Chains A and B, each alone.
Chain A
Amino acid sequence: MKLNRRAFIGTAAAAAGTLSAPLLVRADGHAKPRVVIVGGGAGGATAARYIAKDSNGEIDVTLIEPTRTYYTCFFSNLYLGGFRTMDSLGHSYGTLAAEYGINVVHDWATGVDRDAKTVATAGGYAIPYDRLILSPGIDFVDGAVAGWDVSSQNKMPHAYKGGSQTELLRAQIEAMPQGGTYAMVAPPNPFRCPPGPYERVSMVAHMLKENNPTAKILIADPKEKFSKQGLFEDGWNTHYAGMIERVGPDFGGDAVEVDPNAMTLSIDGEVTNVDVCNVIPAMKAGRIAELAGITEGNWAPVNAADLSSKMDENIHVLGDACAQGDMPKSGFSANSQAKVCANAVRGALTGSTVFPARFANTCWSLIDTNDGVKVGASYEATDEKIAKVDGFISEVGESAEVRQATFEESVGWYDGITSDMFG
Chain B
Amino acid sequence: MTLSPTQRRGLIGAALLSAVLIAIGVLATYFGSRYQIRIVYGAYVNLLVVIGLQIFMGNARITNLSHSAFMGIGAYVAAICVTPAATKAISLPAAPFGLNAFSLDPVTSAIIAIAITALITALVGLFIVRMTPIGATIASLAVLVIIHSIFLFRTDIFKGNQAFFGIPQVFSLTSIIVVAVIVVVLARGFRESRWGVQLRASADDETGAAAMGVNVARLRLIAWILSGIVLAIAGISYAYFLGTISARPFYFNHVFLTLAMLILGGMRTVTGAVLGTFVISFGLEVVRWLETGPVVVGIDLPEVLGLSGVVLGLVIVLTMAFRPQGIMGDREIEDIFSKTK
Q: Do A and B come from one complex?
A: no
Please list the residues of chain B having a beta carbon within 8 angstroms of any beta carbon in chain A: none
